[in-house]
Amino acid sequence: MIDTGANRTFISIKALHLSYKKQSINKVSSRVILADGYTSLSILGTVHLSINMGDMLTTIKAFIVKELCVDCILGMDFINKYKMIINTEERTVSIRDNHKRTTLQFDVNKHCINYPARLIKHIRIPPKRTVSVPVSVALSSAQVLFRPCFKLQQRSPILMLNSSLNIHRHTSFISLHNPTNEVRLLPKGILLGTTTIPTLSFKKDLDIDYSLAQKNICNLIQPITNSEQKDKVKSVLDKHLKLFDTTEPTIVINVKPHAIKTLDYPPPSSKPYYSTPTKQDAMYTITQELLQFELIRSSYSPYAAPALLVAKHDGTWRMVVDYKKLNNITIKDNHPLPNMEQTIQVLGNGYQFFSKFDMKSSFWQIPIEEEDRHKTAFITPEGLYEWNVLAQGLKNSPPSFQRVMADILSPCQHLKHIHQVLSILSQHNFQLNPFKCSIFRQQIDYLSHTISEQGVKPNNEKIQAIIKLREPSTLAEANKFLGAISWYHYPDEAHPVILTTDASKVGVGGTLQQHINGEIKNLYYHSQMTSSSQRRYDPIELEALAIWMCFQHMGPYLLGRSIIIYADQCPLCRHNCLADYLSRHPIPREEAIFDEDYGIVQHNKREPTVRGCVPDAIPPLTGAIVTKSKTKQLQLERNQNSTTTPTYRNKTTLPPIDEEIDQMKEDSSQIIANNSLDIEQLKIEQGKDSTIHQNVAEVMKDPVNSSYEFNNGLLYKLIIMRQVYHGDPLSGHFGVQRTYLKIKHKYWWPNMKQSIIQYIPSCLPCQQYNISRTKKPGRLQPIPPPEGPFQLIGMDYCGPFKLTPRSNQYVLCLTDYFTRWVVAIAVPDCSAKTTAEALFNAFICKYGVPTVIRSDQGTHFHNQLMYAMSKLIGYDHTHSTTYHPQSNRMIEKLNATFVPQIAKLQDKENNNWDEFLSPVVFAYNTGTHSTTQYSPFQLLYGREPRLPTDGKLSSFTFR
């Protein structure tokens, strides 16, 4: 990277070690000050670098540092020495040496600069807890994207998420979650991940059209009648003129781009839809406009979704893309979307002022990850294009946009809120649609509702639509009409809701109402037929069934509210009867909406002879439906006046029930707490277990050799061995048998094999990469085994894989048919020359000349060079039958085994699979083979291998 703000040239020690030509280093210990004026950087030494700039060889003396945001920074010393010219318009740099000038293009594919994020202090994370920890970053102040360290996630169960961070004075905070039942420690200075500053694309900054922005603002504040309020609002809006300039589209900054994660399927493609010449011209005009604003670009993608035109209300065309095939293979984003009904209810809680902001083409302001843009390709009669911004029609567009809004907006009196919201939107380069915005209104239309301080009601358009509905003539039309008008029924938060139920052998049902100012206002009706088994219920159970059914269907109306239940069956007023029924018919967890409230069950007032029935409080059963009332909602004043929503249609008269509510509150029993399991409860339950008492006694008697640990009054089982012997890179994520046989010779605990069998199938990387290869038994005959080691060798290539930083793309695998010993060499290609060199240097020079080498008939094995080599060294080279890899099955099976193991360990961002090749091969060679019942290491060397987990002591304890 060329940095005109750096006085000298710098190179990282890692980049220096990876350079092709090893350089002589002059060790120097000093420090330099960064551009912020107080941050220092340690210098490890100096080195003379030779750098090829195009066809010109340049040299420069560089400082060596431990870490840089890039591999090398060329400073002003290099710029002045070679008289560098930087042309930002042409995006080129040119250097001059000995009257010769060389011109180079900018790297247009560089999108971000990475900075490591390290832990500032030692951290202790309790079990099942999330903590926010401070990290240090080599930036003074910035907003960056954080990505967790892959290697840390491999060796630690601590969970971290990709997130957006605000850095201030080189410090930010990251959330860490400990999902285990053990305390986890992280040392000071550990690398948690990398932070990224997205770079902006090169384009000319456009001046804000102040006249248009001011005009839009004046139109917005025109409905405000109070001149003082109007001046205050205008002063706030004038600070954010850019938001109201709709001259050209904008793309937001400092947000996480939209990612499209797909399943492993071939890219879907379609032909362009047929269209008339008129539509083709309109399509061409739209695409050219999108190209001009850089919202799309030309594409060479294998993906292709057909584009089509849809007519707008004003007669113009809107281009949409049919992403049905792409959406079928897209992994769903489960980020929650706002609940429209809940939002409207919150807005109707008596607020005085309202403002509404509408984004100008909101999706088109969100960028898409560069690596996923080719998936958005769409085809028209004129060509293939792909989106640079979030397109409509993609499966995860709404949750992705909602995530951006949730990340940048926080809970914001009203003018202050406007300023906060506009500041955040402006900071991220959003653009508003002033024609659809509303500022400082005392009544506002939102999602087909009119919201004011008096409450929520349908807007006039919807009311007129309902009035103009024709009289229903069929059952379907009647149900449709009832559903339409029921949409606008909202409970009054200041009054309890009343559920009246009834049941018979034929059906069950209920009515949800509220008693407000001496009137009953109906909210919801529900009825349904009973099943053949339900008809055999006794009357009490049928009434309980009716209550249960109503709670299932009326959940949104009952959430967090005080509930009064009127039932025909007096026994239901008692605790045991209804509780017993609910325990046998539990509502699913998502339906259990009364975990913090209790309802009051009272006999139906239609039977005055039993009207004196005493109500009882129902305890909050786990997953049950009846819960405690909110105290503040029960303390109702007799003459309380409350403004209610004028949308209830059916009204009847009922005597006031304030006295009854007060009596219910006095007679209610004490609340029984949820029977949730916690640490203290676990201690009590362990104290009741005789087996645990014996285990505790064993631990206290011999804590060193015990399989348990007694800590803070709790008995813990030690199970970390399963993770070390299975998930560590030197263990290789192999199966149950290999893991068990490795552990059994050194450690033991009760039910050890069963715990390993339970643990390995729960390993997430193994679930992702392991596949079943079980087939029906065939007619193959076994190959006679050789008489000794390295007499018969199988050889095959595996790959190509993604190119690594070491330029490796293939793996040459060799395995001994006698000992099952494996040798694997990472190579850059699979040519005959590379094969011969790898075979000679990595195998023959270490293990000697084999008697027979068996391979397939690939050109890298079946060639003149390999034939001459076999004759010269003295071994036979045989080839497997064409189209029958079973004849060399051992090496083919090996390839299918170790590739998933490496995939579980590699860093998918840096693609460093070749770094884990040797550890995985070591894990295979030291594991017990299912055929020989010995490890290849034992058969080759005649002894047990010494592993990193083998300490000097035969046993140890965890503290």
CA-based nearest residue to 469, from 453, 458, 485 = 485
- Mean pLDDT is highest, among 15-19, 227-231, 267-271, 901-905, for 267-271
**What are the tens digits of pLDDT across the range 450-490?**
877 666 677 777 777 777 777 788 888 777 777 666 666 66
Amino acid at 736: V
Report pTM.
0.33
User: Which sign does the torsion angle of CA 663, 665, 666, 671 carry?
Assistant: positive
DSSP symbols for 915-936? GGHHHHHHHHHTSPPTTTSS-H
Q: Which of 252-261, 592-601, 689-698 has the lowest mean pLDDT?
A: 592-601
- The answer, yes or no, to whether residue 755 has pLDDT greater than 90, is no
Distance of alpha carbon 651 from alpha carbon 645, whole angstroms: 13
707 belongs to a structural domain: no
Q: Residue 593: its pLDDT value, please?
A: 40
Give 241-304 as a 3 state SS string.
Answer: HHHHCCCCCCCCCCCCCECCCECCCCCCECCCCCCCHHHHHHHHHHHHHHHHCCCEEECCCCCE
Which one of 84, 105, 126 terminates a domain? Answer: 105
Q: Which of 212-216, 253-257, 423-427, 607-611 has the lowest mean pLDDT?
A: 607-611
Q: Are 177 and 161 in contact (CB under 8 A)?
A: no
Q: Residue 767: its pLDDT value, please?
A: 75
- The answer, yes or no, to whether residue 405 has pLDDT greater than 70, is yes
Q: Are residues 30 and 99 in the same domain?
A: yes
Cβ count near 277 (within 10 Å): 8
Please give the residue range of the domain that contains residue 500: 489-667
Q: Which of 80-89, 235-244, 464-473, 485-494 has the lowest mean pLDDT?
A: 485-494
CA-based nearest residue to 551, from 533, 530, 529, 526 = 526
Q: Are residues 936 and 805 in the same domain?
A: yes
Q: Which of 154-158, 583-587, 734-738 has the lowest mean pLDDT?
A: 583-587
- CA distances, 146 to each of 67, 134, 163, 381 (Å): 18, 13, 5, 41
Residue 193 is part of a domain; what is its CATH number? 2.70.40.10
CA-based nearest residue to 547, from 569, 529, 565 = 565
**What are the tens digits of pLDDT across the range 829-886?**
988 899 999 999 999 998 999 999 988 888 888 888 888 888 888 888 888 876 666 6
Q: Residue 887: its pLDDT value, please?
A: 66
Contact partners, residue 338, CB within 8 Å, separation at least 6: 402
The DSSP 8-state label assigned to residue 476 in this structure reads: H
Six token digits for residue 91: 């995006």
Residue 392 is part of a domain; what is its CATH number? 3.10.10.10
Question: What confidence tier does 19 reach under pLDDT thresholds 50, 70, 90?
Answer: low
- The answer, yes or no, to whether residue 657 has pLDDT greater than 60, is no
More confident residue, 609 or 510: 510
Q: Which of 234-238, 579-583, 657-661 has the lowest mean pLDDT?
A: 657-661
- The answer, yes or no, to whether residue 27 has pLDDT greater than 60, is yes
- Mean pLDDT is highest, among 49-53, 105-109, 167-171, 608-612, for 49-53
Distance of alpha carbon 885 from alpha carbon 891, whole angstroms: 9
Q: Residue 758: its pLDDT value, please?
A: 83
Q: Residue 329: its pLDDT value, please?
A: 93
Q: Which residues of 488-507 are buried (b: 16+ CB within 10 A; e: fewer)?
A: bbbbbbebbbbbbbbbeeeb
Q: Residue 374: its pLDDT value, please?
A: 94
Distance of alpha carbon 383 from alpha carbon 368, whole angstroms: 21
CA-based nearest residue to 645, from 454, 509, 377 = 454
Q: Are residues 642 and 525 in the same domain?
A: yes
- CA distances, 378 to each of 262, 312, 394 (Å): 17, 21, 12
Helix (H, G, I), strand (E, B) or coil at 672: coil
**What are the tens digits of pLDDT across the range 792-806?**
998 988 888 888 888
- The answer, yes or no, to whether residue 442 has pLDDT greater than 80, is no
Distance of alpha carbon 10 from alpha carbon 31, whole angstroms: 12
- The answer, yes or no, to whether residue 303 has pLDDT greater than 90, is yes
Q: Which of 304-313, 453-462, 591-600, 676-685 has the lowest mean pLDDT?
A: 591-600
Q: How far apart are the first and last CA of the chain?
A: 48
Six token digits for residue 14: 């890692």
Torsion angles phi and psi, residue 28, rounded to 5: -140, 140
Q: Residue 286: its pLDDT value, please?
A: 92
Torsion angles phi and psi, residue 421, rounded to 5: -65, -45
Q: Residue 654: its pLDDT value, please?
A: 40
Q: Are 550 and 513 in contact (CB under 8 A)?
A: no
Q: Residue 57: its pLDDT value, please?
A: 85
Amino acid at 57: L
**What are the tens digits of pLDDT across the range 332-354?**
888 888 777 777 777 766 777 78
Tokens 């606008």 belong to 488
465 belongs to a structural domain: no
682 belongs to a structural domain: no
Distance of alpha carbon 629 from alpha carbon 621, whole angstroms: 15
Q: Are residues 871 and 935 in the same domain?
A: yes
- Mean pLDDT is highest, among 54-63, 141-150, 479-488, for 54-63
Q: Are residues 637 and 653 in the same domain?
A: yes
869 belongs to a structural domain: yes
Q: Are residues 366 and 320 in the same domain?
A: yes
Q: Residue 885: its pLDDT value, please?
A: 63
Question: What confidence tier does 585 reach under pLDDT thresholds 50, 70, 90?
Answer: low
Mean pLDDT (whole number) for 409-418: 62
Six token digits for residue 610: 């039993």
Question: What confidence tier does 394 reach under pLDDT thresholds 50, 70, 90?
Answer: very high
Six token digits for residue 359: 């984004």
750 belongs to a structural domain: no
Distance of alpha carbon 466 from alpha carbon 647, whole angstroms: 12
Question: What confidence tier does 601 reach under pLDDT thresholds 50, 70, 90?
Answer: low
- Decide the pairing of beta strands 9-12 and 449-452: unpaired
In Å, how far from its chain's centre is CA 148?
12
CA-based nearest residue to 383, from 265, 248, 316, 290 = 290
- The answer, yes or no, to whether residue 215 has pLDDT greater than 90, is no
Amino acid at 251: I
Residue 864 is part of a domain; what is its CATH number? 3.30.420.10
Mean pLDDT (whole number) for 668-687: 60
Enumerate the H helices of 760-863 as residue ranges. 764-769, 832-839, 845-847
Mean pLDDT (whole number) for 390-404: 87
Q: Are residues 96 and 20 in the same domain?
A: yes
Question: What confidence tier does 823 reach under pLDDT thresholds 50, 70, 90?
Answer: very high
Q: Are residues 79 and 171 in the same domain?
A: no
Distance of alpha carbon 947 from alpha carbon 721, whole angstroms: 13
Average pLDDT across the chain, whole number: 77
- The answer, yes or no, to whether residue 728 has pLDDT greater than 90, is no
Distance of alpha carbon 414 from alpha carbon 628, whole angstroms: 35
Distance of alpha carbon 347 from alpha carbon 339, whole angstroms: 12
Helix (H, G, I), strand (E, B) or coil at 658: helix
Contact partners, residue 688, CB within 8 Å, separation at least 6: none
The strand order across the sheet containing 497-503 reads 616-617, 600-603, 563-567, 497-503, 507-516, 519-529, 651-653
Q: Residue 379: its pLDDT value, please?
A: 94
- What residues form DSSP beta bridges with 441? 354
Torsion angles phi and psi, residue 496, rounded to 5: -70, 160
Mean pLDDT (whole number) for 22-48: 77
Backbone dihedral region for residue 54 (phi beyond 0: left; psi -120 to 50: alpha; all else: beta): left
- CA distances, 737 to each of 241, 633, 947 (Å): 68, 62, 18
Q: Residue 598: its pLDDT value, please?
A: 41
Mean pLDDT (whole number) for 21-35: 75
Which one of 58, 78, 105 terminates a domain? Answer: 105
Q: What is the largest CA-CA distance in the chain?
A: 114
Helix (H) or strand (E) holding 604: none
Q: Are residues 514 and 406 in the same domain?
A: no
Distance of alpha carbon 245 from alpha carbon 901, whole angstroms: 54
Mean pLDDT (whole number) for 316-338: 89
Residue 96 is part of a domain; what is its CATH number? 2.40.70.10
Helix (H, G, I), strand (E, B) or coil at 444: strand
Q: Residue 384: its pLDDT value, please?
A: 93
Contact partners, residue 285, CB within 8 Å, separation at least 6: none
Question: What confidence tier does 12 reach under pLDDT thresholds 50, 70, 90?
Answer: confident
Q: Are 443 and 224 in contact (CB under 8 A)?
A: no
- The answer, yes or no, to whether residue 190 has pLDDT greater than 80, is yes
- The answer, yes or no, to whether residue 573 has pLDDT greater than 60, is yes
Q: Are residues 97 and 153 in the same domain?
A: no
Q: Residue 36: its pLDDT value, please?
A: 62
Which one of 453, 480, 504 terminates a domain? Answer: 453
Distance of alpha carbon 496 from alpha carbon 661, whole angstroms: 9
Distance of alpha carbon 457 from alpha carbon 487, whole angstroms: 11
More confident residue, 471 or 120: 120
CB-based burial label for 688 (10 Å; 0-12, 13-18, 19+): exposed
Q: Which of 10-24, 145-159, 490-504 has the lowest mean pLDDT?
A: 10-24
Q: What is the dihedral of CA 903, 907, 909, 914, to 10 degrees?
A: -70
Q: Residue 260: its pLDDT value, please?
A: 93
Q: Are residues 361 and 502 in the same domain?
A: no
Distance of alpha carbon 303 from alpha carbon 300, whole angstroms: 9
**What are the tens digits of pLDDT across the range 645-655?**
333 333 333 44
Mean pLDDT (whole number) for 168-177: 85
- The answer, yes or no, to whether residue 313 has pLDDT greater than 60, is yes
The total number of structural domains that make up the chain: 5
**What are the tens digits of pLDDT across the range 929-943?**
888 888 889 888 888
More confident residue, 567 or 43: 43
Q: Are 26 and 45 in contact (CB under 8 A)?
A: yes
Helix (H, G, I), strand (E, B) or coil at 407: helix
Q: Residue 210: its pLDDT value, please?
A: 59
Q: Are residues 353 and 495 in the same domain?
A: no
Q: Are 928 and 939 in contact (CB under 8 A)?
A: no
890 belongs to a structural domain: yes
- CA distances, 282 to each of 271, 278, 304, 305 (Å): 19, 6, 20, 18
- Decide the pairing of beta strands 123-125 and 112-119: unpaired
Q: Is the peptide bond before 458 cis (omega within 30 degrees of 0)?
A: no
More confident residue, 639 or 512: 512
753 belongs to a structural domain: no
Distance of alpha carbon 459 from alpha carbon 461, whole angstroms: 6
Question: What Rg do the C-alpha atoms of the chain give, in angstroms?
Answer: 36
482 belongs to a structural domain: no
